[in-house]
Structure formats: structure tokens, C-alpha cells
Chains A and B, each alone.
Chain A
Amino acid sequence: MLRAALPLLWLPLAGAGTTEEPTQEPGSPGEPPPGLALFRWQWHEVESPYLVALWILVASLAKIVFHLSRKVTSLVPESCLLILLGLVLGGIVLAVAKKAEYQLEPGTFFLFLLPPIVLDSGYFMPSRLFFDNLGAILTYAVVGTLWNAFTTGAALWGLQQAGFVAPRVQAGLLDFLLFGSLISAVDPVAVLAVFEEVHVNETLFIIVFGESLINDAVTVVLYKVCNSFVEMGSANVQATDYLKGVASLFVVSLGGAAVGLVFAFLLALTTRFTKRVRIIEPLLVFLLAYAAYLTAEMASLSAILAVTMCGLGCKKYVEANISHKSRTAVKYTMKTLASCAETIIFMLLGISAVDSSKWAWDSGLVLGTLFFILFFRALGVVLQTWVLNQFRLVPLDKIDQVVMSYGGLRGAVAFALVILLDRTKIPAKDYFVATTIVVVFFTVIVQGLTIKPLVKWLKVKRSEHHKPTLNQELHEHTFDHILAAVEDVVGHHGYHYWRDRWEQFDKKYLSQLLMRRSAYRIRDQIWDVYYRLNIRDAISFVDQGGHVLSSTGLTLPSMPSRNSVAETSVTNLLRESGSGACLDLQVIDTVRSGRDREDAVMHHLLCGGLYKPRYRYKASCSRHFISEDAQERQDKEVFQQNMKRRLESFKSTKHNICFTKSKPRPRKAGRKKKDGMANTEATNGKPPRDLGFQDTAAVILTVESEEEEDSDSSETEKEDDEGIIFVARATSEVLQEGKVSGSFEVCPSPRIIPPSPTCAEKELPWKSGQGDLAVYVSSETTKIVPVDMQTSWNQSISSLESLASPPCTQAPPMTRLPPRSLVTEEPQAPVNLPSDLRPSFAFPMSLAKAGRSHSESSADIPQQQELQPLMGHEDHTHLSPGTANSHWCIQFNRGGRL
């Protein structure tokens, strides 16, 4: 439906481009100069950018439409669909405008459409894999392309000599060689488009794809050499010209690579100094890469190679230098541009094919070319692989070879090159154009369609996505070092030796020069993996929430508690809070009462109502920095709050005490598993040995086994738990309201409106700690501090804050944590008897009133003086070491810096 609407949308505008112009031109001079036109139609002034934008829009919309149906896209590669769409659109344009309007212009293609795709692929190329297979890639790219070009060209010439090609195709051997050179190169765009959807294993992918990128140099040289030979005429070609041709191969390829590396160096160096102007970091990446492309193009070197090398070379340093946000920006912009360019290329290919004035058909030539490119590609691959396998540690087997020969797709590069041919010099150009179009369409559509089933049928090893693990990273590094060392011992200067040399050089000089000092200091791959794992843990922790125990995917190091090391990681934090608890259910039993719960409800309600995001609003309209907007800050708050809540729930689930009815599943699963495991333990008398190495449950259990006897008593608490569910929900709603109001009324300064939540928190957590929280925070109930003990409170406030909690997260649900940690960290606090509860209730009530009226009049809040320290701390959160905020800030800031 939408697709049908697209041409309609487009047609009037396209028509406007052609028809409106003449009507307006004569119109304007004829009329007397009007005073002031209210409305003027100025289509021709915006025409070209408008059309470009419109084309991109059409292409993107088409993409959306294609992806509406998963079935279609899983069967048909997107590139096929786009070509077909292009054919349809081209047909419509032809029918309306009576002439083919929009073509894939070689200039546009080489200057604007190709660079983003190549940059994207170069920048995100797995460099390790690329260099590990460099030998194979270079062989296929250089030898393979030369082989393809010469054999195809010669065979076609033979075909013509044999009389299978109609005599109207006037072409000599050189013409056919020229044609062979442009048709022989595997096209990176087409390969990428198809292979990205077929997930073959990485080695196979990098070989085919690397070949398609590198062979550009060969193609360019061959094309230029042949072209100039044709223009000179075969009679005038001297022997030195052949030598020059060979030499130019080296000049073009090495020169292109050199240009790319120079620009990569410049780019890395530039990003080292962008600390104060973060906002232009992504721009620099694109600008310098594009400059590399244009420079190489200008010097008629291999531009594709230049931009590939630029992306490949700069990535490590650029990624280390630019900020995290810039990294994301670079990534997305690059992907967007590349996919956009790719879409347009395929669509324009389809459209260009419609223009029948440009091509002339000859069946013999077309069929012969199709056959030859397939045949010689396969033959070349087999021969080269045979040679390569003599040297490769991991040989390429037959199936790989089949996929490699079948994956030799031709694409837009060939088409653009054939369009560039000069018709006066090469009379058979029209035939070549037609043949190229057919070849491109055949490879992209037929081969693209069938390669997926073929890969499935041949059972080609697919790429496996496994999570990076520290072990893998570490061992990879050790193996590298071992191999390098052994090469040293043996005295053989092989691949590992040079790799090791390069890494030493990089570490000593290049990284020092190109990386920001802060980035260089902490840049390490093992550390990087560790950092990413931590982030992932944190995210999955938030995502999974209470289901932590049931999921084995989350590798919480809740294992046998070692003495706590450092809180550099979320995981460590989790572990710490997880293992610190000990159960004392007797206390809980005595504490429970309806009154307590009521009180707790009140407390949470209050906390929710009193909640204010305590931020100072900066005037933020800088063009050079992106300031977090309110939404983002709130997101962060919500994240942190969630984090803490999950922490809490994790802790309680871990100890098999469930506090909400809304999460019955994990509880049951956990208990069931536990029981089952306990049985096995009983029978086997030793910890169960599992085959899976992702299995953490078993390990968790070994910790829990000591609490086995407690679980029974905790089950009796289930009824009480239900009361708490209600509490939790109510507060979260209130919290939302509070937040909204808080964000709407722009507090000019935190001093004017004192953040009463903290005030309430300061007292109320005690209640909650005794009351509803007792169930799951039961661990520390042995040592509950009475509320009225202000002195001990004041002492403990710091310890409360030192618990991982941002100031903003001291909102209701979070307050469960503070009391707990407070108690744990303050052993001298007197034990609270259940009877102590009563007196402490009065206080919150009065607070409640204050809290409610707080939003209107905040001045009359009791204990104002007690707020001061907190407020003070809030003003310079990053400075005060003992505060909650600083704790979390360190966690996340450090992460952000890395």
C-alpha cells in the first residue's frame, strides 16, 4: 500500500521539476514587477537538493516497507528488492517523462555514494581477522582479479573469433580485455549487502569481503591501463607501456594505502586534542576520511584502498580518544550513511537499467560473459586455494571454496566503470553496458537469492556469536606472546614476530603520540573486555530485575565470598551487598505487625510525595557541549533507582526471602532449583559438576546451602509479603507523580526549596527498616537502631550515604537499603527491641504533614538544620568523599572515562 503511494508522492514533484520551470520562466518577466508577492513558488531554486532528499526518503521508506514483512526479507536480500524497486520506479519515470531521467551517474557514485560504504566497512573491519588472513586476501584480490580479467577478456575475444558474438559488436582483443577488467572485480557493496545477511563464519567473510575491498586497486589499474591502451590503439603500445602498467599497479595500490595511513595518522592526532570541543569529534572522523578518499582520487590512486586503510588504521586511536557519546555518534552516523548510500545505489542501478537508449543487446556476448565470469571465478578460486592451503595453518576446505566462488558478486562499481567508457573510442560500449547490467543483475539477484539456501544446504559453518570473555581475551594475548617468543627462540621472523614487533612499536611510540594521555594509560584490551562485561552485567541486572536467580545468563560473582577486594565493578558491588547479609528470622517474626506496615506505607507515600530531583539548573545553550537534558537526568535517576532496587531484590531473592507477590516465579524457581540441588548434594556428597560452563546456579548454591534451614521459616512470611507488594507499588506511583511535579516546578536553587525527601528519609527508614523491610532485610534486624537515637543516627548518616546510592536515589523504594547498610556498618548500634517501635511512629506522622505541605511552603520543615549537611553535600557532590553520590559517581564516571 505504502509502496504504491510512493510513486504518487513523487510523481507530482518530479513532474514539477520538468513542467513547472518553463511556465514560471516566461511568467515572471512578462508580468509587471509586483510589489510584494504573498506567495511565490520557487521550485527550481531548491530543485536539486530537494530531489536528492526525496530520493533518499523514497529509498528509506522502501526499506521500511520491505522490512514490514519478515518473511520476505529473510528470503530475499534487500539488495534484490531495491533493484526491483528501482526497475519499477525507472519504468514509471520512463512512462511519465518519456525519457530516462535519473541515472546512476559515475561521478555521483564515486564521489558521494561509495565513500560512506567503504569507510563504514573499513572502520568496522575486524582488524585482527583481516591481518591474520592478509595473505589469502591479497592473493585473491591481486592474483584472482588479474586472472579473472585476463581470462574473461581473452575467452570473450575467442568467442568472438569463433563467431558466437554477432559481428556488429566491434571490439578487438584490447576492448575485451578492458571489459574483462571492469567486469572481473568483485564488488564490495554487493558482497557486503548479501554476505551480511548470510552469516557465514568470520574467516570466510573476511576473505571474500577483504578481497572485494582490496581488489579495487587492481581494478582501477587494469581499467586505466586498458583504457589508455585502447585509446592509444594497440599498434602504438610499446613494451615500456606494459612495464608502466605493472609499475602503476604498485603505485596505485601502495600509494592509495599510504594516503589512507597518512590521513589516519592525522585523524588520530587531531582527535587527541578535541577534549574541549567534543561536539566536532564525529565530524572530524568523517571529514578526514573523506579527505583521504578525495586525495587518493585526485592523485588517481586507489581511493577505496585509501579510505579502507584510513578507517582501519585510525580506529584504535580514535576510539580511545573520543568520548563515549562521540563514539556512538560516529557509529550510528557511519552506519546510517552507509546503508543510505547502499540503498540508493541499488535503487539507481535498477532505474538505470530501464534506459534502453544506452544499451544494445547481444545474446552471445551476454551469455558468454555470464558463463565465463562464473567459470573462471570458480577455477581461479580453486587454483589459488590449492596454493594457499600449502601455507595456511587452517586450510580452506571445499565448501569454503564453493561459497567463495559463488559469492563473487559484481555490482555498481562495474556499472559505473562501464558507463564511463568513451563511446567514440570503444564502439562496442553499448553492448558492454547491456552485458554489465545483466551480469550485475544476475549476480545480485540470482546469486544473492540462492546463496542463502546454498550456504544452508552445504552446512557452511556459520559465525557464532559468543560473548567475549575475559579468559578468551587473556589467553589470546598469552598465545600471541608465546608464539612470538617461540619464533624468537627458533630465530624465524614470521608473522607473529612482526606482529609482536609492531605491537611493541605501537605501544612505545605510536600510542604515546596519538592517544590522549588519559586514554593511553588505561587502554588495554583485557581491561576493555572487563569493563564491557561489567557494563553488560549492570544492564542485564537492571533488565532482569528480580529474575536474577533464575537466569544463568547473569554471571554474578556471588560465589564463595572472598574478602572484598575493590568496588571497581558493579559485579563486585553486587557481590558485596549480596554476601553481607545474614538471616535472623526470629526478629522479623516479632517485629511484624499491622501497624508497622501501615507505618511503612505512610513512609513510602511520604517519601514519594516529597521526592524532588535535586539538581541545579544550569543555563545550557552551548553549541559545543551537549548538556544532559532533564529527561536524560531523570532517566539516569530512574536507572540508578532501579539498580538499587534490583540490588535489593537480588539480595533478598538470593537469600530465598521473597518480598513481592509480583515475582513469584523466580522465588519458586529458585527454591525448586535449590531443593533439587540440595538433593544432589546430599546424594553425591559433593558439589554437582555440571557440563555447562555458564552455569552459575550451582555455585550460588554452595553459598546458600548454609541457609537451608532458614528457608522454611522464611516461607511462613509469605502472607506478610503480600502487604509489602502493595506498598511497593503504591510508592512507585507516588514516586512518579513526585518526580513529575519536581521536574515541572523548576527549582532555581536547591537551597530555597530544601529537599525534604532526605529529611523524611532520615527518620523514616528506621521505621521501614523495622516494619515492612524486615522481611527481606531481615539479615540485619538484630541490630536495629532506635529512631530517636539521634546521635547514633548522626554518626551513621555517613555510613548510610557511603552505601552505593546517589542522592537522588534516596527516594522511597531505595530507602530500604540505607537502614540496612547502616546497621551492618555500625556494629556498636544498640539492638532494637520490637517494643521500641511504638514511640518512633509519632515522628514520621508529623513529618508527613510537613512533607505534604512541602511543595507549597517548604520553609517550615522541621529539622531544617539537619538538612544543611545534606544540602551542602549536594552542592559539591563530587568533592565529599563519604557521600552516597560520590560513591556511585565514581563507579560510573570511572566507567565513562575508560
Chain B
Amino acid sequence: MGSRSSHAARIPDVDSIQRETGFSQASLLRLYHRFRALDSNEKGYLSRVDLQQIGELAVNPLGDRIIDSFFPDGSLQLDFPAFVRVLAHFRPVDDEDHGNRDPREAEPLNSRMNKLRFAFQLYDLDRDGKISRHEMLQVLRLMLGVQVTEEQLESIADRTVQEADEDGDGAVSFLEFAKGNGTFYLARTVSRAKCQSQEIRPEEDSRWGKGWLLKGKCRVIIRRGNDAGQAKQEISISVRLTK
């Protein structure tokens, strides 16, 4: 706190961090100050305890999980670049047309899919890419608190998983999770698709009306259904859909 530098140059590797996360110099500086403020004994890194000492986080039902997400793979230290990298998930989505971007380039951290992935891994404790019924139950227990009985909770968890579960494996995969959050209604909203391989063709289906048959790796441009701001949103996904 004491060493308030007003210059972004004081931050180590400021350029590479900026390139990776997309934060402006000013926000990086602000974050750096915050980082230093959280760092209790000037260690140069944050420990779990540092974050746990934030009072408001203690009452947040998901507080522990969020702290965990700052410390991936069981690491105990959080340096500034990693700190910023996690926070970069929460930058607003860039408006530039992603269709022109090189598909091989890594998606920016603040893309919609990465935001969702961040939320997803808060549910997915064992990191198997699926929210099992048990994991759902744990989240629900946190969210609902003690207000309902255990068996009610279990039936809610059942119901929640069933609702999102499409392939019948009794768990929610990331794709199903994303769909549940209204990110894309694939069947209805695919308006344009770039295929890297294989085929894509429109198909008439009795249930969905006109639809698309996607096969292979595709980059699809979809029209988001429920977001007021943007009519079009482009998300690159690699789906293998067989009908």
C-alpha cells in the first residue's frame, strides 16, 4: 500500500500481460495496487489466506470455490500475471468481428465461451468435464442453504441435471451447460458456418423445421436468442453432431 506507484512500468512484464489479457494500462495499474494491497506481507504473491481474508468473500456461498479457481492445479501461490489472467475472464466481450480472426489463434480470455468455462469449472469439482448429479447437489446445497430438506434438495438436483442433460449420461457436459445458459440455440440459430472439414448441409426435420446438419469441425456464427445487445454473436466450436 505504501509504495503507490503511479506508473504502470513498475509492474513486471506489463506488456505481455496486457497483450494476453487485453486490460488497459490504467486498469492494470489499479489491479496491481489491489494485488499489492491484498498481499499481506509483501510476499510478491498471494496465498489462499490472503483472499480468504476479504470479508465479503467469506459470506459468499461460492467464495471458497472462487478462491479455488484462482489457484489452479493445487498451486499455493498466485502471482500477478495469473491473478490478472483469471480476472480477464470478466472483461466485457469484445465487439470486434471474430469471424475475421485467425481460427487457430487462441480465443481471448474474455470470450463468451471462456466466461462460461470459468463458471463451469466452479461446478465441476473433479474436472472431468461434466457436472455430475453429485456436483450439482453440492452447488445447490450452497445456493439454497438450509431452507429445504435433503430429499427435496436431491430431487431438485435430479431435476436440474435431467433438464440440462441431453445425451442421457446423467451429467451435464460443458456443451449442455452452455446451452442451458442460452448461449446458443444451435438448431435454430445457426445462420452461417465455416467448416474446416467434412460437411454441413441444411436439413428438414419434423421437430425443428429447417435445421442444419453439422458434421465435422465447424465454426458457426449464431444468432443469440436472448441477449438484447448483440444480434449476432460468433462462437467457434468444434462439434461433432450426428443425427
A residues neighboring B (CB under 8 Å): 201-204, 392-397, 400, 461, 464, 466, 469-472, 474-475, 477-479, 481-486, 488-491, 497, 500-501, 504, 521-524, 526-527, 530, 533, 552, 555, 557, 559-560, 562, 565-566, 568-569, 571-572, 684, 687-693, 695, 698-699, 702
- Residue B166 lies at the interface, judged by CB distance under 8 Å to chain A: yes
Residues of chain B from 153 to 203 with CB closer than 8 A to chain A in the complex: 154-156, 158-160, 162-168, 170, 172, 176-177, 179-182, 186-187
B residues neighboring A (CB under 8 Å): 31, 34, 37-38, 51, 54, 56-57, 59-63, 66, 70, 87, 90, 92, 118-119, 122-123, 133, 139-140, 143-145, 147-148, 151-152, 154-156, 158-160, 162-168, 170, 172, 176-177, 179-182, 186-187, 207-208, 211, 225-231, 241-243
Interface centre among A470, A560, A568 (most CB of B within 10 A): A470
> In the complex where A464-B225, A475-B119, A691-B211 touch, is A524 in contact with B159 (Cβ < 8 A)?
no
A-B contact pairs, 16 of them (CB 8 A): A203-B228, A394-B227, A466-B226, A471-B160, A478-B139, A485-B62, A489-B54, A497-B56, A526-B140, A526-B144, A527-B152, A557-B162, A562-B170, A690-B166, A691-B186, A691-B211
> In the complex where A522-B148, A692-B207 touch, is A557 in contact with B158 (Cβ < 8 A)?
yes
Chain B residues with CB under 8 Å of A461's CB are 228, 231
Shortest CB-to-CB span from A136 to chain B, Å, is 11
| Cβ-defined contact, A482 with B66, below 8 A | yes
Chain B residues with CB under 8 Å of A527's CB are 144, 147-148, 152, 156
> In the complex where A469-B180, A560-B170, A691-B241 touch, is A490 in contact with B143 (Cβ < 8 A)?
no
Shortest CB-to-CB span from B159 to chain A, Å, is 6
Chain A residues with CB under 8 Å of B37's CB are 491
| Cβ-defined contact, A488 with B56, below 8 A | yes
| Cβ-defined contact, B60 with A488, below 8 A | yes
Contact for A477 among B90, B143, B155, B242, CB less than 8 A: B143
| Cβ-defined contact, B187 with A692, below 8 A | yes
CA distance A500 to B180 in the complex (A): 24
Which single residue of chain B is at the shortest CB-CB distance from A696? B162
| Cβ-defined contact, B228 with A692, below 8 A | no
| Interface contact tally, CB-CB below 8 A | 182
Interface centre among A392, A486, A504, A523 (most CB of B within 10 A): A486
CA distance A523 to B154 in the complex (A): 17
Which single residue of chain A is at the shortest CB-CB distance from B116? A475
| Cβ-defined contact, A393 with B92, below 8 A | yes
CA distance A522 to B177 in the complex (A): 27
The binding surface of chain B is classed by DSSP as: helix
Which single residue of chain A is at the shortest CB-CB distance from B205? A691
| Cβ-defined contact, A395 with B229, below 8 A | yes
Shortest CB-to-CB span from B149 to chain A, Å, is 8
> In the complex where A395-B229, A526-B140, A691-B186 touch, is A560 in contact with B152 (Cβ < 8 A)?
no
Shortest CB-to-CB span from A401 to chain B, Å, is 13
| Cβ-defined contact, B168 with A526, below 8 A | no
Chain B residues with CB under 8 Å of A202's CB are 228
CA distance A242 to B198 in the complex (A): 73
Which 4 pairs between the two chains have the least Cβ-Cβ distance? A394-B229, A566-B151, A691-B187, A471-B180
> In the complex where A691-B208, A699-B168 touch, is A500 in contact with B60 (Cβ < 8 A)?
yes
Shortest CB-to-CB span from A405 to chain B, Å, is 17
Chain A residues with CB under 8 Å of B147's CB are 521-524, 527
Chain A residues with CB under 8 Å of B34's CB are 489-491
Chain B residues with CB under 8 Å of A397's CB are 229, 231
CA distance A486 to B63 in the complex (A): 9
Chain A residues with CB under 8 Å of B164's CB are 469, 471, 693
> In the complex where A202-B228, A688-B243 touch, is A557 in contact with B207 (Cβ < 8 A)?
no
Chain A residues with CB under 8 Å of B123's CB are 478
Which single residue of chain B is at the shortest CB-CB distance from A493? B56
Chain A residues with CB under 8 Å of B148's CB are 522, 524, 527
> In the complex where A464-B225, A488-B56 touch, is A568 in contact with B151 (Cβ < 8 A)?
yes
Chain B residues with CB under 8 Å of A693's CB are 164, 166, 176, 179-180
CA distance A201 to B225 in the complex (A): 11
| Cβ-defined contact, B139 with A486, below 8 A | no
| Cβ-defined contact, A500 with B56, below 8 A | yes
Interface centre among B37, B123, B163 (most CB of A within 10 A): B163
Chain B residues with CB under 8 Å of A400's CB are 228
CA distance A464 to B177 in the complex (A): 20
Chain B residues with CB under 8 Å of A501's CB are 56
Contact for A695 among B54, B152, B207, B242, CB less than 8 A: B207
